[in-house]
Amino acid sequence: MSAASNPVDVHVGNRIRLRRTLLGMSQERLGNALGLTFQQVQKYERGRNRVGASRLYDLACVLDVPVAFFFDGLPDRGMEQDTDVVDAAAGMAESTACVAPIAGVKEAGRAAMPVDDLALLSRRETIDLVRAYYGIEDSGTRRRVLDLVRSMSA
């Protein structure tokens, strides 16, 4: 077993846990929907096991999000094509930038979600607040609650 999980796997796992929790879904229920045990879901959420492409697609379907949701907040890497490396069969340039470690990568342009914000969104209190807020059926009342909370935080 490796000593540390890949930071991308940890990020994807955190996003799986965030969405599952926002939906009020247990690890067991998610596992059943995917044909997995809750222990396997737990390993995905902790980043201990890498999520394959087909499993990620299944997760996106069950959790009702686009696949890109799981990567939100990661810096864009490897978007520039390095024409030195070409896949002759496909005739497409293959980027070598994705082999760079995630730590210390600073991207110009799109700003990644700060780690503090991601941690804040993953807190049980935040999830409970969001769930209760969207449990208010009347949109006018929701708006007044939002205005109240904003006035209290100022």
More confident: 105 or 127:
127
Predicted confidence (pLDDT) per residue in 24-77, tens digit: 889 999 999 999 999 999 999 999 999 999 999 999 999 999 999 999 888 776
CA distance 9 to 11: 5
- Rounded Cα distance between 124 and 1, Å, is 30
Beta bridge partners of 93: 86
Global pTM?
Answer: 0.59
Residue 73's nearest CA partner among 98, 100, 47, 102 is 102
pLDDT in tens, 117-130: 666 776 778 888 88
What percentage of the chain reaches a pLDDT higher than 90? 41
Report d(CA 144, CA 31) in Å as an integer: 38
Helix (H, G, I), strand (E, B) or coil at 72: coil
